[in-house]
Structure 1
């Protein structure tokens, strides 16, 4: 989960290895938690001056029902994986609705979409205005998996396609073509999944996708090595997104903004969304969530 300056790329792997990383609370601007060591000085200053924009506020409403289950995942090397499905208010958990799969950021799990972002309450506040209500599903993808098969055999994408979606279909949910939503690491995961499985994706929305053009700039642990990095390069397969409705949002003070601009420039058509005041923070993601959720509702 994490940030950028238009004039400065994210810190290198070497500097992160030297400096370490952890979570800290943002200061006077109240922009939400960020990862220590990833915010350049300009962003701290902009946050203190209120130049990164207001924080989004989770609606004070009652969400719909949530179902939580777990299973032993063969694709994730026998790990127990938990998923949660959040339904719109007043909708029974037997309803046959489409699915929006929410891919969490670094250090997150299936709870993050609800406890950190409050997606279930944003849905509850807006669903009456949407043409297509849907179920938001979040699943454990690994705290630093970057949503792709790793050298040790852990494969979150195979888990989604071969294990999670069939389980959701058994519950009566519509999984032939799904919506995708993700932030930071999960934003990268959205783009990667959509490129690898375009026939399964009806629409995709990414916030602050964690993208790098150069392996030397990559967060430690995001990829096994340079070969892994190149094998999962989302810039190399952008043509696969040609027919998928796509929205990408990124704060102008996010360290990933330059890489996001480069990704958008390489698409056949400009996606919805854009670059707003904001950094790599919960406050920014909460502010962008209503537009992202509505985009998916209108394109499912």
Structure 2
């Protein structure tokens, strides 16, 4: 007779908390692979008896992931100073195919614009801000997770809020408006007419491309609706003779564009909207950040 194996309650607990752990690590680092590695490391430590002194499973696991992320971010910030061209977070792309990212906890914002705003914060500032403001942990819990006093955490959070206060309220955009404007942007881009693109842009719109020195894109941020319009139209004109497809997908929780060139994922584009116009365009072409797209397939010619 086969012996039934009793369910592992610790595994059930970890599976339940995994989206939150991944969400914290990804928002800290903007790198999917590192976030997944730290979630796995937390699980291994939990399994190896590290949980014996834990007050609660969640607090213990979040503490491990947070501290690993703080340490990694210190090194990453130095690495990004040597990065070729602008650095953008690795996009989380969702299609109809289920993925680990689809379970990412929805609390807070994971838009490219929001993650770039977090780049202004030092590692511990970012951790305190995210844990308290996005994931709703109390000051006593945050203090224990980052290894500081409650008073110190309050000061850190006040400093972080001052750095981001002016911008955070701008990130909430109606999804239907976002989708409609994105569709118009695709059509305007396909026209290769700078004027049609420019009509959708805020006067001070920006274009940020991330090629990481491995794919061609603008090596500096391009500013101004006229310049951005001409750049976007020029890019589409350059590829006019190729098999180019633009699929609307979910990029970091909002509608975005997956561009295929000759059957290969070429770019992920996301936009930031203010007052009904496109205020920022973010294009990731670094192939190291597109590796997770192998599971997808082109859907429709556009």
User: Which fold has the larger relative contact order, with Cα–Cα distance below 8 Å and residues 6 or more apart in sequence?
Assistant: 1
Fold shared, TM-score > 0.5 on shorter chain: no
* Pair member with larger Rg: 2
Tell me the TM-score normalized by structure 2: 0.28
TM-score (norm 1): 0.28
